[in-house]
C-alpha cells in the first residue's frame, strides 16, 4: 500500500453487509496493492475444515448465521497482523463486526502503527439475497463464483483447481436472513462508531456494475488518502 514520507502503513477495512462484495473486492485489491487479504470468515472456515478445536467451537454458530465470540476473532486477527507480511499494510474483510471488535482493533492498530481506512460497500438487501443464493465457492482455493455474473468456465468446476464448487452451508436462504439480521443488530452500529472515530471513512456504491467497475471506484477513493 502507498507509503509516502512519514505516513503509516494502512489497515484497509472493507465494511458492508454479507454479500456486499467484500471478499471479491478484497481479492482484487490484494492484487492491486500487493498486501495480504485477511478474511475472518475464511480463517474460521479453514479451522473448521482442519477439524481444529477452535473450528469445532465455532462450527454451529457459523452454520446458523450467528457471529462467533469477539475474543476468538480478535485473537485470530491479532496473530495474523503481527506476521511480517503485514508490515506494509493489509486488507481486513469481515472484521471488525461488533463495537467490541472495533475497539480491540483500534488499540492494536495504534500500538502497531497502522492507519485505519474504512471503505463501506453499500448494497440493498434484495440484491444481496439474490447474489448470495447464486454464490459458489471452491473448497480448495476459496475462489468465489456467481452463477449469474461470474460463472466458472465449466459448470460447477473451479477454473483454478478443477475441483467441484460448493454452496457454503451458511448461504442457504433462511441462514442468509439470519446473517442479515446479525448484521443489522451487531454490525451496522459500527457505521456510527466509524463516523465518530475521526478515522478515514469512505462510501462506495457496491450495487452497480461489474466487480472491476466497483474496484475502480474503491481505488478512486483510496487515491484520495
Ligand atoms: P459474509 O460476510 O458473507 O457473511 P464471512 O465469510 O465474512 O461472510 O463470514 C461468515 C461467518 O463467519 C459469519 O456469519 C460469522 O459466523 C463468522 N464470522 C466471520 N467474521 C466474523 C467476525 N469478525 N466476528 C464474528 N463472527 C465472524
- The string of pLDDT tens digits covering residues 24-49 is 999 999 999 999 999 999 999 999 99
Asked if 108 and 31 count as a contact pair (C-beta separation under 8 A), the reply is no
Indicate which residue's Cα is closest to atom 9 of ligand 1: 41
Q: Pick the closest to residue 65 from 211, 219, 182, 148 (CA basis).
A: 182
pLDDT given at position 114: 97
SS3 content of the chain, % helix, strand, coil (to 5): 50, 15, 35
CA of 169 to the centre of ligand 1 (A): 12
User: Pocket of ligand 1, candidates 45, 48, 68, 133: which has the most ligand atoms within 8 Å of its Cβ, to mutate?
Assistant: 68
CA distances to 61, 132, 192, 206, 218 from 127, in Å = 25, 9, 24, 10, 20
Cell of 195: 463516523
pTM above 0.75, yes or no: yes
97 is catalytic: yes
CA of 198 to the centre of ligand 1 (A): 26
* pLDDT tens over the chain, length 225 residues: 544 456 899 999 999 999 899 999 999 999 999 999 999 999 999 999 999 999 999 999 999 999 999 999 999 999 999 999 999 999 999 999 999 999 999 999 999 999 999 999 999 888 888 888 899 999 999 999 999 888 999 999 999 999 999 998 888 888 888 999 999 999 999 999 999 999 999 999 998 888 999 999 999 998 867
User: Pocket of ligand 1, candidates 94, 108, 170: which has the most ligand atoms within 8 Å of its Cβ, to mutate?
Assistant: 94
172 is catalytic: no
CA distance 122 to 184: 13
CA of 94 to the centre of ligand 1 (A): 6
CA of 4 to the centre of ligand 1 (A): 33
CA distance 41 to 65: 11
Indicate which residue's Cα is closest to atom 6 of ligand 1: 41
Asked if 65 and 182 count as a contact pair (C-beta separation under 8 A), the reply is yes
122 is catalytic: no
CA atoms within 13 A on the CB side of 202: 19
- Helices 211-222 and 22-33: angle between axes, nearest 10 degrees: 60
pLDDT given at position 2: 46
Asked if 119 and 22 count as a contact pair (C-beta separation under 8 A), the reply is no
168 is catalytic: yes
Amino acid at each position: 500500500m502507498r507509503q509516502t514520507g512519514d505516513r503509516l502503513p494502512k489497515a484497509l477495512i472493507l465494511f458492508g453487509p454479507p454479500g456486499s462484495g467484500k471478499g471479491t473486492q478484497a481479492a482484487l485489491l490484494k492484487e492491486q496493492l500487493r498486501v495480504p487479504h485477511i478474511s475472518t470468515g475464511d480463517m474460521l472456515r479453514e479451522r473448521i475444515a482442519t477439524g481444529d478445536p477452535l473450528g469445532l467451537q465455532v462450527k454451529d454458530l457459523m452454520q446458523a448465521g450467528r457471529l462467533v465470540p469477539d475474543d476468538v476473532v480478535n485473537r485470530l486477527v491479532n496473530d495474523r497482523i503481527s506476521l511480517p507480511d503485514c508490515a506494509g499494510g493489509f486488507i481486513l474483510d469481515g472484521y471488525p463486526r461488533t463495537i467490541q471488535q472495533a475497539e480491540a482493533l483500534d488499540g492494536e492498530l495504534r500500538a502497531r502503527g497502522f492507519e485505519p481506512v474504512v471503505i463501506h460497500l453499500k448494497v440493498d438487501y434484495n440484491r444481496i439475497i439474490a447474489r448470495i443464493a447464486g454464490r459458489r465457492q471452491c473448497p480448495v482455493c476459496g475462489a468465489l463464483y456467481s452463477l449469474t455474473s461470474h460463472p466458472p468456465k465449466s459448470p460447477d468446476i473451479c477454473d483454478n483447481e478443477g475441483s467441484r464448487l460448493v454452496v457454503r452451508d451458511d448461504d442457504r436462504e433462511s441462514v442468509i436472513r439470519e446473517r442479515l439480521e446479525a448484521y443489522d443488530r451487531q454490525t451496522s452500529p459500527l457505521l456510527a462508531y466509524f463516523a465518530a472515530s475521526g478515522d478515514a471513512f469512505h462510501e462506495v456504491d457496491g450495487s452497480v456494475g461489474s466487480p472491476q467497475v466497483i474496484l475502480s471506484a474503491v481505488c478512486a477513493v483510496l487515491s484520495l488518502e
